Structure 1
Amino acid sequence: MDEKMISDLRMKSGAHWKKIVEKYGSGEKGTVLDFKDFLQGRQAASVTLHGCSVELPVHRQNFIEFIYAYEGRIVTEINGKELVQKKGDILLMNQYVEHRVKPTGNENEALILAALPDFFEKPLEMMKKQSLITDFLANMFRQNSKKPEYLMFHLDDQRALENLVENLTVSLCDEDVCKNSEISQYTMGLIFLYLSEHMDRVAQNSSQSYKSIIINETQKYIELQYRTARLSQIAEDFNLSLPALSKLIKEGTGNTFQELLMKKRFERAAELLIDTNLPVEEIALNVGYENQSYFHRQFKMRYNITPRRYRLVHRRKMGR
């Protein structure tokens, strides 16, 4: 990033955080940081450079907090759990998350965006596909939703993202707030669009890991749509590449998508052989196989018996 901009922001932010520490530094757990300490006049968002020698109590805030690890290692404690950001990583928290950025020394710095929910209206409009990000943003506008939520992205200090964050910082630091309000919001929208292309980099959120969400949704999808299920459909739904999705499924289940799908199909075929009088050929079609010889070969490989023999043996055992 531009060194002069960072130097100026560092100087300005130092005085800002000194005031914050004086006001909240001795507070107890349950402290709520007020947006008026960060936003002036008609501002909907502001940015500061947080030197991690600053110590605040466990708190939440009545605004949305976006933490970009600018330098070094940022450690944020949420519910006793430490989330570690390396340079380029992003942590996004709603106003109900109780947390604190742990002091780790001035060699570690974070750009902290403080924003009111209204600031995210345009970014949400720019997001065409549903994802954890759109769900997160939408929940901010729901009056009955007070669930603590956060998203963590491990992004390996990517230059394209750094450029977008730099542009956002420049816009928010400009004194002409009205002129740059829309520019800042559209830039934030571009950041979210960039993040949506890297959803495999979400390490965790407040309830369960992104990997767990994908695994659960994949298993539900196969359970309901085993006849026509396609890996490409899940990839499209989660905005993931096929290799990234395949890797997540393999890591999470120990099986490939195709192995999970075939397991479900042949379990269902075995059920139909016992519980119905459908011809074997029709059962094969019902579970997604038009190639009859392939179905017979795979069935025998799994059960060490032909489909017809399987039906006779199991019906005999059940006294049918």
Structure 2
Amino acid sequence: MQLDRELYQDLMKETDEELAILEGNQAVNKQIYTDLTSDFVIQSEKFLKDDLIMIRKHPRYIDFPRHSHDYIEMNYVFHGSFQQQVADKKINLKQGDILLLNQYIDHELSACGKEDIVINFIIHPAFFDYILSNLSTGFIQSQMLQFLMSSMFSYNQTAQFLFYPVAESERVQDIMDQLLKEMMEDSILSKSKIKFLMGLLILELVEQTNQFEQDPSQTNHQSFLTEVFRYIEDNYQDANLNALANKLNQTAYWVSKQVKAITKQNFKDLVQEKRLLVAKNLLMYSDLSMQAIAEEVGYENISYFYRLFKQKYGKTPKAYKKQLMEE
């Protein structure tokens, strides 16, 4: 893809940190990155403040020592190349490549030369909840996306990384160019634009993940879940585990155990999620009574329906409807 020359010229300019290195400071200034005095753990509070995401250029001209961080990091090679060791694996990134690093994983970085421009994205784990709540629509899409994203990152202290050789993907590179322009512009709307562009990028990488060679067990899980979610989508009013098991030619016990192992939710929870989503849409876009809506989504007991709806959305269906009408 054609390099944006104006953006390139802007990113080639030395930062204050790089100027200090060029003036003879041969050690990374750890005070920029952490208040801890023992292990070198880069702290998100040093950069994020009250934001969920922050973008900065990686300092050139110096080896960056072994460290970890309490946030999710993404490295993007805008120009040149980038070498680092993640855990015990050496990784060479070329122009256009992306590397996603989970929290707590150790890595050390070789010095970048003048022409090696690498961008670091500092991402709070809560940003992924933001993506799921704002950029996924419909039950199958949101449930499948949640599974794929949890496959990308388990939100615990298990070290993981994902390497995306996406230099040839025009869609990914176009999103990256837009992100970097917003970073440099820093207008009043830039932070909001960056959030949505990052959301689009993550969705694009989820799709790219499916195109790469995968662990066969992950592929099987995706196929199984697609069947489960499609069944719930079509039969949510009276969906039951035995009917699904018969459809899959499996025992109800096996299907139940698989659903729980993969999604961390019970089959009943998934059905309930779909029913309440439909109920919310009916409240928004129909004039049906509360009793009719409860029955439409599969609940004969309206008191039970009210209780579940309030647990999910924080308001009773009537209060939710009233708020919509006032707005």
Structure-1 separation of matches of 2:98 and 2:83? 12
| Cα deviation digits, residues 54-93 of structure 1 (max 9, x gap) | 3121001122211111122211201221012122111011
What's the counterpart of residue 306 of structure 1? none
Extract unaligned runs of 5+ from structure 2. 22-26, 228-327
Kept in 1: contact 2:76–2:119 (CA 8 A): yes
Q: What's the counterpart of residue 155 of structure 1? A: 166
**What's the counterpart of residue 292 of structure 1?**
none
Matched residue type, 1:216 = S
- Corresponding residue of 2:217: 216
Q: What's the RMSD between the two structures over aligned residues?
A: 3.5
Contact 1:17-1:54 within 8 A present in 2 as well: no
- Please state if 1:183 is matched with 2:183: no
Structure 2: distance between partners of 1:75 and 1:84: 5
1:135 aligns with 2:150: yes
Partner of 1:2: 4
- Deviations along 1:268-310, one digit per CA (max 9) or x if unpaired, are xxxxxxxxxxxxxxxxxxxxxxxxxxxxxxxxxxxxxxxxxxx
Query: Is residue 58 from structure 1 mapped to residue 59 from structure 2 by the alignment?
Result: no
Query: Which residues in structure 2 correspond to 1:208-287 (within 5 Å)?
Result: 211=214, 213=215, 215-217=216-218, 233=223
SS in 2 for 1:110: strand
Task: Give the secondary structure class of the aligned counterpart of 2:75.
Answer: strand
Tell me the distance in 1 between the aligned counterparts of 2:38 and 2:99: 21
Q: Is the contact between residue 89 and residue 154 of structure 1 (CA under 8 Å) also seen in structure 2?
A: yes
Q: CA deviation at 1:201?
A: 5.4
CA distance in 1, matches of 2:150, 2:94: 25
Instruction: Give % identity.
Output: 20
- Does residue 99 of structure 1 match 2:113? no
Residues of 2 paired with 1:131 and 1:187: CA distance? 18
Matched, 1:198 2:195: no
Q: Tell me, what secondary structure is at the counterpart of 2:64?
A: coil
Q: Deviation of residue 29 (structure 1)? A: 9.0
The question of 1:34 aligning with 2:43 is answered yes
Q: How many residues align?
A: 210
Cα drift, residue 194 of structure 1: 1.5
Quote the residue 2:288 is aligned against: none
Deviation of the 1:148 alpha carbon: 1.3
The one-letter amino acid paired with 2:117 is E
CA contact (8 A) 2:11 2:117 kept: no
Give the AA of the match of 1:34: Q
Give the 3-state SS of the residue equivalent to 1:95 in structure 2. Answer: coil
CA contact (8 A) 1:161 1:194 kept: yes
Identify the range of structure 1 (53-62 vs 121-130) with the bigger mean alpha-carbon deviation: 121-130
When structure 1 is superposed on structure 2, of 16-25 and 109-118 the one drifting more is 16-25
Displacement of 1:37: 3.7
Q: TM-score, normalised by structure 2?
A: 0.54
Structure 1 residue runs without a partner (length 5+): 203-209, 222-231, 238-320
For 1:15, the equivalent position in structure 2 comes to 17
Could you report, residue by residue, the CA deviation over 1:103-161 in whole angstroms, capped at 9, with x for unpaired residues? 25333221111122233333233253247751156633xxxx21112111111332221
1:71 and 2:79 correspond: yes
Tell me the residue number matched to 2:96.
Answer: 88
Structure 2 equivalent of residue 287 of structure 1: none
Alignment of 1:121 with 2:105, yes or no, is: no
- SS across alignment from 2:116: strand
